[in-house]
Amino acid sequence: MSIRNIPTTPFSDQKPGTSGLRKKVRVFQQAHYLENFVQAIFDSIAAPKGATLVLGGDGRYYNQTAIQTILKMAAANGFGKVLVGRGGILSTPAASCVIRKHKTFGGIILSASHNPGGADGDFGIKYNSSNGGPATETVTEAIYAKSKTLGSYRILEAEDVSLYKFGSTLLGNMQVEVIDPVSDYAELMESLFDFTAIRALFASGFRIKFDAMHAVNGPYAQEILEHRLGAAPGSVMNALPLEDFGGGHPDPNLTYAHELVEIMYDEDDAPDFGAASDGDGDRNMILGNHFFVTPSDSLALLAANATLIPGYKQGLAGVARSMPTSAAVDRVAQALNIPCYETPTGWKFFGNLMDAGKVTLCGEESFGTGSSHVREKDGLWAVLFWLNIIAVRKQSVELIVREHWAKYGRNFYSRYDYEGLPTEAANGVMQHLRASFATLGGTQFGRYTVKTCDDFSYTDPVDKSISTAQGVRIIFSDGSRIVFRLSGTGTEGATLRVYLEAFEADEEHHHLDAQVALKDLIDIALQISELRQRTGREQPTVIT
């Protein structure tokens, strides 16, 4: 075995987005492309010689090939040990758990989250720091800067390592330890939740359907829900992780998890509880019998019921939400007299708050919820949290949500995604909106009057870093708002997201469908943005 120093030239497109570097598989398959980015990571993080790294991914196409390359590069760059999930599998929250439990220097996670997989699909890579969370903007900027000047990368000439046999093998001078990808995570979940109460819930005849969408959470859900908690065999559907996610789109929403939605809205035989998770296991969708829970409501409800859960019975230090997420959790925080932080989109912003002890729960409207147990959002954790609440309260999902609305009011909320837009057209919409700030203030649209509009910026209360241009907000005098934001998770074209929110205190109106309640705001959003005219897109790709 020998270490080779391979000459290379930089790529100009390796700037990490909200959750690492995501591109089409064919881009990563270019000669030196993956290697350049991995070397840029290693050159930027200043790991001491002999450091331990965690490595794994969501099992999508190219996952195992990339892992073999990264292992050989880690050995050539002086790492002493790599913990890798069996078969190259580690859900994103499980990777965070392993980093934290084993106190490793950090980890590399291979995932494009909820993006499609397969040879023609997407691939992604990101670095997580020693706290288990995504690298800060300072680190990602350093990685990007290095990627633009890189002249060579180091790699060990060696045979591939078996990823299916538990235990340690030597790769050069580095230990490669293949670990059970589920056990550490399952142990953590058992320490947080009342598994005895949830077992009793299932024993009483309570029925669940969990859609793993042929993604990474299948083995986790089967082990925890079926084997440890006693849910009926078959409660986990699409449980086998596949490189192309079975040809599906592993995004747990009403559009892409349509198979689960049909089951939960069956006229004659709907289960009591439904849930889905995404490609890398960090997102969740919650459904009751004929009832959908918005992610914003879910976050608020978890906060309101946290003390029912053993791991949170002492209460919450605070809560945080991304700016586009509805203010439903703000009302809970106010009632509990705890702080509520509004951050840009991206889990790395929550990590600083959790490390500083400022928040316990956090969430984003894009079906991501989590807590300080790890430093990533966590899909299966949210499902267990809901099941624990139901086991204690002994009420249906719908009744729990409606009682919450009755107490706190309802934030009608929806998100319109326009995917695959020409980048120039999407940027044009945002530029037009920013140019309209001077004239929009005080403008009346039917019963809505614009109070203020801005481009959201954030000063981190912990490290004082400043993030600008995080989304255009149009806020009305009654507190309703429209938010426009370009997503940082796509790989082709641009995804423009439009968020709509209106608060309703009157319980008599809580039964309204969100699209009906928000119709006027939807029309205003299209009028102000000139979205249809500028993009040529008449309808959104996804409505949630």
Give ∠ CA 468-413-477 in degrees, rounded to 5: 70
> pLDDT for 397-432, tens place per residue?
999 999 999 999 999 999 999 999 999 999 999 999
Tokens of 503: 């608060």
User: Which whole number is the average pLDDT over 426-451?
Assistant: 95
Shared domain for 57 and 164, answered yes or no, is yes
pLDDT per position as a tens digit, 181-196 = 999 999 999 999 999 9
Residue 1: pLDDT over 90:
no
Structure tokens at 54: 């965690």
Of 62-66, 138-142, 288-292, the range with the lowest mean pLDDT is 138-142
Count the domains in the chain.
3
pLDDT reading at 489 higher than 70:
no
- Are residue 132 and residue 229 in the same domain, yes or no? no
Indicate the pLDDT class of residue 465, thresholds 50, 70 and 90: confident
Domain-terminating residue out of 377, 408, 439 = 408
CATH number at residue 528: 3.30.310.50
Domain end, chosen from 367, 382, 408, is at: 408
SS3 65: helix
Q: Quote the pLDDT of residue 310.
A: 98
pTM: 0.93
Do 115 and 241 reside in the same domain of the chain?
no
Under the banding of pLDDT at 50, 70 and 90, the label for residue 366 is confident
pLDDT at 544: 84
pLDDT at position 491: 57
Q: In what order do the strands lie in the sheet with 122-128?
A: 21-24, 122-128, 106-110, 52-57, 81-89, 174-179, 167-171
- 156 and 134 share a domain? yes
Tell me the per-residue pLDDT of 329-351, one tens digit each, with 9 for 90 and over: 999 999 999 999 999 988 888 99
pLDDT of residue 488: 61
**pLDDT band at residue 215 under the 50/70/90 scheme:** very high
* CA–CA gap between residue 219 and residue 335 (Å, rounded): 39
For residues 167 and 216, membership in a common domain is answered with no
Which of 408, 424, 450 delimits the end of a domain?
Answer: 408
Question: Do 12 and 131 belong together in one domain?
Answer: yes
Range of the domain at 417: 410-543
Quick one: 438 and 468 in the same domain? yes
**Tokens linked to 307:** 């003390």
Is residue 194 located within the same domain as residue 310?
yes
**What pLDDT band is residue 211 in, cutting at 50, 70 and 90?**
very high
The percent of residues in the chain predicted with pLDDT above 90, rounded, is 93
Rounded (10°) CA dihedral 96, 98, 101, 107: -70
CB contact set of 82 (below 8 Å; sequence gap of 6+):
52, 53, 54, 55, 71, 74, 174, 175, 176, 177
- The set of catalytic residues is 113
Radius of gyration, CA atoms only, the chain: 23
User: Could you read off the pLDDT of 15-61 as tens digits, one per residue?
Assistant: 998 789 999 999 999 999 999 999 999 999 999 999 999 999 999 99
Task: Answer whether residue 4 shows pLDDT above 70.
Answer: yes
pLDDT of residue 252: 94
> Is the CA virtual torsion 299, 301, 304, 310 positive or negative?
negative
Backbone torsions φ then ψ of 138, nearest 5 degrees: -60, -45
Q: Give yes or no: residues 309 and 357 share one domain.
A: yes
| pLDDT at 3 > cutoff 90 | yes
Identity of the highest mean pLDDT range in 134-143, 346-355, 446-455: 446-455
Helix axes 295-304, 397-408, angle to 10 degrees: 80
Average pLDDT, the chain: 95
Say yes or no: 37 and 155 in one domain. yes
More confident of the two residues 279 and 487: 279
For 142, phi and psi rounded to 5 degrees? -65, -40
CATH of the domain at 245: 3.40.120.10
Report pLDDT digits (tens) over 222-239: 999 999 999 999 999 999
Question: How large is the average pLDDT for residues 363-388?
Answer: 96
Question: Average pLDDT for residues 288-308, to the nearest whole number?
Answer: 97
Give the pLDDT confidence of 497-519 residue by residue, as tens digits: 999 999 999 999 999 999 999 99
Same domain, 503 and 397: no
Q: Do 145 and 198 fall within a single domain?
A: no
